[in-house]
Chains A and B, each alone.
Chain A
Amino acid sequence: MLLEAKKISKKFPGVQALKDVDFNLKAGEVHAIIGENGAGKSTLMHILSGIYEHDSGEFYINNKLTKLNSFQKAKKNGISIVFQERSLFPNLSIEENIFGASPPKNKNIFFQIDWTNLSKKAQEYLDQLNMTINKKVLVGELSVARQQMIEIAKAISNDFKILILDEPTASITLQETEVLFELINEFKKEGRSIIYISHRLKEIKKIADRVSVLKDGEYVGTFNSPDVDIDFLVNKMLGRSLENKKFNDISSSEDEIVLSLRNFNGHGFKDINLDLFKGEILTLTGLSGAGRTELAYAIFGYVPALNGQIKIYNKDSKINHPKDAIANGIGYLSENRKELGLFIGMEYRENIESNNLDKFTKNYIINWGKRDKVSNELKDKFDIKIPHIQQLVLNLSGGNQQKVSISKWIYANLNILIVDEPTIGVDVGAKFAIYKILKEITNNGVSVLMISSDINETLNISDRILVMFDGKINGELKSDEANEEKILKMASGL
């Protein structure tokens, strides 16, 4: 074995990210690791590359016990990683980025960078990746796909034995994927090994020799890729199928369309056709990067769509700013409550005020008494745990902050509410409270467009489900025909 990891455990405050995970890697193989979001794949890779320190467990490289407790040490042991989060310097040129913090030095003059050598070597790596590009260009000017390729060039510039690719194809084009796969096959022939993490199971079937499955931080098993099919892997990833506690009071009527998109195109999504019925919860699900939030931004006018048609109550509408959307009866609850949703340095009642100013205003003058009264009512109605309405939102728990976000949009009393990951980072109690709120408003005729990555949530409270993949809607499921496997398949582009 080239690499063996035995009983690796890692705990973060409040979460057991990895629990006694075993993993082994042969020389010259491509070994895929799969699992749901939060299964511990990235954590394991961060430990392997020396970025996180593990709590317990051992690593053997070529059967020798090895400590991988720093990035430099992992690098010395021939482990190179391509990060999921880009680790490039946008302000530096391509060639400088490829070598990062350790550019080739001039032998004669101390500390001087050997620019000729750097340039020559950089060209070699770019040639390997089949990239025809001016290597003096700043990385910040490149497309995301090109940046991902530079990230790969950077990883292979290190003379590695083990290359870790964390979602390498998430943002690159098909042609670039082909180039990458050819390169991976060449590395294999040279006896070098690849650890390959991806949500795209089709890709994994194509490139991987073996597949290891992680679930909730635990090791499920390792399988020979040719022996198993995709359905089997999906099953292993999900484990036992969870019972679906459904909120079954379907209140939608399919005769009144409140929002309809036709040939809707924008940054991160394309060719979207979608109808939202009165009183339904329509869920957009998919993997991160599938373009769901971008679509919500476009509907709400935060980042307007490039082209396409948007009809609200059968009326052609132009939405160039959130204020247009609100005027058309659309609200948007952001997934990022701290940066986009709330004014965390301000008081609870001021947050309630922020998007409801007109409701507290008569003849341009604000009625403070009304604002405070409404704030108190909302606090009681949604069970927001704060001592008084002057409380700064900053100090509230995640669940309470989310309730503040939701209550301010509920009070706005709009016809269409887009909720982006409405239960992200909230505990179980608050989660159910939020589901109840959503069901209540849809019973009153409000239409909810929900974005969710939580598969149980998606199955339990949606009336219909749209699965997005790679910026497009890849399929539609009615709530009674949907299950985890179907959704996961569609979300992986199948």
Chain B
Amino acid sequence: MNNILKIIISNRTIFLLVLMFVFSIIATIFLGSKFASLANLKAVILGQTSIAIMTIGMMALLISGVFDLSVGSIFALGSVFCGYLIKSVGLPYPIAMILALCGCGLLGAVNAFIITKMHVNALITTLATMGIFKGLAIIIGGAGIMGLPKEFIYFGRTDFLGVPSPIWYFLIILVVFSYLFSNVAYFRKYYFVGGNEKAATLSGISVNHIRFTGYILSGLLAGFGGVLHASRLGASIPLAGSGLELQVIAAAVVGGASLVGGKGTIFGGVLGAMFLALVFNVFVITGVSAYWIPVVNGAILILAVYFHVVFKKE
């Protein structure tokens, strides 16, 4: 019994699965079918796809020992770029989407450039670009770009085999990135850079290279989250990304990332995101105000780090 407990505590993925299972049972006892239904499960996952996709990018960065506060703003710019290119420039929507994603990848590269070449620390850099990108999103998108075409909306609203398309996109990204980070040599280097940057350099790993690809991936995935959001809504809302960085970082940390780097898995980060989604789902069902979400989110982030510290001691 003691051994089982040890395994559960020492492996974040198993710990989260058990936690989510216990949480679901308790929620089912109190809320019944309002919680425990296939429709609700679908809604929970669907509502969290953008966050989960962004968490994958954040996880990659956290594994390599850095983070990105500007993801919420890149999310907004991704959405606005796409809407602007479709609505004002008149590009066909697949091209607009690809260009928007390229733009977001470029924003990630800008972050990486400032951090690695100009040697500005990652916290300050991404705090600053969080403001800059958000401002740009509002400048381009104004109060919002409405009335996006039906074909574009179809991208985020269609179903396949009874499962909404965003869930499919999310699952594909999850599988690809999980594979990359657990079996492909290049992405393995993220763990070494996060584990000890100097030792990684002396092992012949180019830390700057890892930083660039990390921030570009994070930018791309945040941008995709934004594009998906615009597609489901049929509109690009510049303010939609505000505060997402807190949710994304909380999800990654709950999922086993450490702020000093070298730890965590992509799948763990996604589980972290889904655990948060379950908690907020209960809020919605019980009618607690949505204003409580950031409060609980912040509290969970602190608790997750605190537990990490406590377990480490033991």
A321: CB under 8 A from chain B?
yes
Contact B203 A322, beta carbon cutoff 8 Å: yes
| B64 CB → nearest A CB, Å | 13
- CB distance B204 to A342 under 8 Å? no
A339-376 Cβ-contact flags toward B at 8 Å (1 or 0): 11111111000100111011011001110000000000
A323 neighbours in B (Cβ, 8 Å): 204-206
User: Which residues, 188 to 236 on A, are CB-close (under 8 Å) to B?
Assistant: none
Interface contact A354-B192, CB-CB below 8 Å: yes
> Is B200's beta carbon under 8 Å from chain A?
yes
Question: Contacts A350-B191, A361-B185; is A322 near B204 (CB within 8 Å)?
Answer: yes
Q: Which chain B residues border A339 with CB–CB below 8 Å?
A: 196, 198-199
On chain B, the residues within 8 Å of A343 by CB distance are: 192, 195-196, 199-200, 262
Complex Cα–Cα for A155 and B117 (A) = 40
B184 lies within 8 A of chain A by Cβ: yes
Complex Cα gap A342–B186 (Å)? 19
List the B side residues contacting A345 at CB < 8 Å.
Answer: 195-196, 262
- Chain B nearest CB from A375 CB (Å) reads 15
Tell me whether B199 and A332 are in contact (CB under 8 A). Answer: no
- Inter-chain CA distance A376–B199, complex, in Å, is 22
When A and B form their complex, what is the total count of cross-chain residue pairs whose Cβ atoms lie within 8 Å?
A: 69
Within 8 A of B (CB), among A303-323: 321-323
B286 interface hit (Cβ, 8 Å): no
In the assembled complex, the Cα of A262 lies from the Cα of B185 at a distance in Å of: 37
Could you tell me which residues of chain B, from 175 to 197, have a CB within 8 Å of some CB in chain A? 183-186, 188-189, 191-192, 195-196
Residue ID in chain B nearest A297 by CB atoms? B202
Check A358–B185 contact: CB distance below 8 A. yes
Judged by a CB distance under 8 angstroms, whether A300 is at the interface is yes
User: Is B202's CB under 8 angstroms from A357's CB?
Assistant: no
Q: Which residue from chain B places its CB closest to the CB of A344 in the assembled complex?
A: B196
Chain B residues near A326: list those with CB within 8 A: 204
The CA-CA distance from A345 to B188 in the complex, in Å, is 16
Contact of A302 with B202 in the complex, beta carbons under 8 Å: yes
Given A345-B262, A357-B189, decide whether A365 and B183 contact each other with a Cβ distance below 8 A: yes
In the bound assembly, the distance between CA atoms of A148 and B123 in angstroms comes to 34
Contact of B186 among A344, A355, A364 (CB under 8 A): A364
Interface check A458, CB cutoff 8 A: no
Given A343-B195, A345-B262, A346-B195 in contact, is the A322-B202 Cβ separation under 8 Å? Answer: yes
Cα–Cα, bound, A399→B192 (Å): 23
Q: What A residues does B262 contact at CB under 8 A?
A: 343, 345-346
Cβ contacts under 8 Å, B200 to chain A: 343, 354
Nearest A-chain residue to B180, judged by Cβ:
A364
Asked if A334 lies at the interface with its beta carbon under 8 angstroms from chain B, I say yes
Output the least CB separation between A392 and chain B (Å).
11
Other-chain residue from A302, A322, A332, A342 in contact with B196 (beta carbon distance below 8 A): A342
Interchain CA distance A236-B148 in the complex, whole Å: 89
Q: Which of A326, A341, A346 has the most CB of B within 10 A?
A: A346
Known: A334-B202, A364-B186. 17 other contacts (CB 8 A): A322-B201, A322-B203, A323-B204, A323-B205, A332-B202, A340-B198, A343-B200, A343-B262, A345-B195, A345-B196, A346-B191, A353-B188, A357-B185, A357-B188, A357-B189, A360-B185, A366-B183
Identify 18 residue pairs between A and B in the complex whose beta-carbon atoms are under 8 Å apart, listed by A's number. Answer: A300-B202, A322-B202, A323-B204, A323-B205, A325-B204, A340-B202, A342-B196, A343-B192, A343-B200, A343-B262, A350-B191, A354-B200, A357-B188, A357-B189, A361-B185, A365-B183, A365-B184, A366-B184
Interface residues of A (CB under 8 A from B): 300, 302, 321-323, 325-327, 332, 334, 339-346, 350, 353-355, 357-358, 360-361, 364-366
Closest 4 CB pairs of A and B: A355-B203, A343-B195, A323-B204, A326-B204
